[in-house]
Amino acid sequence: MRSPTVDFAHGTPYDEYVGTDVLHTLLRPRTDVPEEPAFLVTTQVMELYFGLIRAELRLAVRRLDEDDVTAATVVLRRVTRYLEVLNVAWSALGALTPPQFNAFRDSLGEGSGFQSAMYRHVEFLLGNKSEPLTRPHRGSPEHYRELLEALRAPSLYDAVLALLSRHGHPIPAETLARDRAEPYTPSPVVEAAWVRVYTEHGPGDELWELAETLTDMSERFSEWRYRHLMSVRRTMGAKIGTGGSSGAGWLERSMRREVFPELWSARTAM
């Protein structure tokens, strides 16, 4: 049995590859409250996953544009797994009691997860478009420019509907040619297309597999929002959020903006 290599001229290859020295310097709590590091690390991990999800959703859009449905579905299944990890991450924050959170909450100042540019990218890619939500980033020109590009670009769902059209489903022309920066309006014709995908096909068909993967991903994303809401309610009740929003009330309204809406309404029509 071979022993692992233990002699290195400099840092270990693991530390160099992962960048552990940089990662651990990012843990900079602003108070001595023992619960603050858990809050900070969990938030940082979420940010890293948002960046990963953005990259994967962009890749899925490219694969759909190339008509490679199978490859796009594989990518979206990975995204579903990443969302599962994010959902578990809320357990660490949800365990904070109000006194524990309040002990370091003031150190956040006006900082709020609402201001995450990377999360906003994810929402835009999933089809939740809103120009006002780009405005907090006007003071960061690069972030603002990228968000405006994402706002105006086709979302993942736009790419899916274009794919359905190329596969012979009668997606309305006004849906395909709509202003991408505007919120999506559900269509009964799109709903009928999903009903047809489910009733005329089954497991193994690439459009059926895509539909089920999108539904899984939508469900995990809704769970993430719900876990966020419940974490806020447990730690701060109905207080105004640090970023100035109504806190839990804002999150409750956000949960009503469903992604891939016709995939859900089609189930009633089947």
Check whether 243 has a pLDDT greater than 70. Answer: no
- What per-residue confidence (pLDDT) applies to 7? 80
Cα angle, residue 227 at apex, residues 224 and 232 outer, rounded to 5°: 125
Structure tokens at 229: 């809401």
Q: How many domains does the chain have?
A: 1
Q: Is 128 part of a structural domain of the chain?
A: no
Its domain, for residue 187, covers 32-107+155-269
- Which uninterrupted H or E stretch holds 1? none
Looking at the whole model, is its pTM more than 0.75? yes
Domain presence at residue 242: yes
Rounded to an integer, the average pLDDT of 237-251 is: 59
- CB count within 10 Å of CB 88 equals 10
Chain mean pLDDT for the chain: 90
Q: Is residue 163 part of a domain?
A: yes
Could you identify the residue written with the tokens 């890293």? 48
pLDDT of residue 113: 66
CATH number at residue 191: 1.20.58.480
- Residue at 20 is within a domain: no
Q: Is 228 annotated as a binding residue?
A: yes
Give alpha helix (H) positions in 95-187: 98-105, 117-126, 141-152, 156-166, 173-176
Judge whether 242 is annotated as a binding position.
yes
In tens, the pLDDT along 165-215 reads: 999 999 999 999 999 999 999 999 999 999 999 999 889 999 999 999 999
SS3 129: coil
28 annotated binding-site participant: no
Residues 163, 165, 171, 174: what is their CA dihedral angle, to the nearest 10 degrees? 80
Q: Which residue has the tokens 């009503």?
A: 256
113 belongs to a structural domain: no
